Copies of this chain bind each other. A is one copy, B any other.
Amino acid sequence: MVDAPERSVSDADEEIMRATYRALREHGYADLTIKRIAAEYGKSTAAIHYHYETKDDLLAAFLEYILDRFVAAIHDVETTDPERRLDLLLDKLLVDAEDHYDLLVAMLEMRSQAPYKEAFGERFRRNDEYVRYLLRTVIDDGIAEGVFADADAERVASALMTIVDGARTRAAVLEDPTELAAARRVTDEYVTATLLADES
C-alpha cells in the first residue's frame, strides 16, 4: 500500500508552485533561476527563499505538487468500472500531457538529473510507485470482477508505465507531441493483448 501524497500547501506555496510551473514552461530547467520564478510570482526572491532554501528544494516540492494535481484529477473521476477507469488513467497520463508539452520538455531535463540529485531521484521514484499502484489497483479490480483476464497486474502496470515514459521522452527529444497519442494506441493494444485476451 502506498500513501497518497499530502495535500496541504498554503496559499503562498500554491502561488509559488504556479509561478514555478509558468517559469519552467517558459525557460526550461537548465535556465531556471529563483529570480525568474520570483518574476512570475510577482514578489522578491527573498519572498521565495523564505519558503524554500534552494532552487532544488523548491523543485523537489514542485515534483510533489505535480503528482498531487494528478492524483486529485484521478480522484475526481467518478466511474468505478475498471475498464473505463483504466482508459481514463491512460488518457490522463498520455493524452492530457499534450496540453502541457512545454512542461514535459522541462520534466525530462529534471528526470535526466535524477541520478545526480538524490532529492529529484527520490520524488520521481515515489511518483512512479504511486502511479503504478493506481494502475495495479484498477487492474486487480478488473481481474476480481472478471472483466480482465487473470494477468500479473504488477507486470502489466510496469509495462504501461514503460510505454508512457517512452512516449514522454520521445515527444520531448524528437519534438513531436503526436508521439503521445500514438503511444495511447499502443497501450490499448497492450491492454487488449494482456487483459482482454479471452474476450476476443
Contacts and interface: CB of A to CB of B under 8 A. Distances in A.
A124 B98 CA distance: 21
Interface of A: 28, 30, 105, 108-109, 111-116, 121, 124-125, 128, 155, 158-159, 161-170, 172-175, 179, 182-183, 186, 189-190, 192-194
A111 to B, nearest CB: 5
B167 A162 contact: yes
Q: Which of A173, A183, A192, A194 counts the most B-chain CB atoms under 10 A from its CB?
A: A173
Given A30-B113, A125-B174, A165-B166, 13 more contacts: A30-B116, A111-B112, A111-B169, A114-B173, A115-B173, A124-B174, A155-B182, A159-B182, A162-B163, A162-B170, A162-B182, A165-B165, A166-B167
B105 A115 contact: yes
A139 to B, nearest CB: 15
A45 to B, nearest CB: 24
A189 B151 CA distance: 13
Given A166-B162, A166-B165, A167-B162, A111 B190 contact: no
A100 to B, nearest CB: 14
A121 B105 CA distance: 13
Contacts of A121: 173-175
Contacts of A113: 30, 109
Contact of A128 (B125, B167, B174): B174
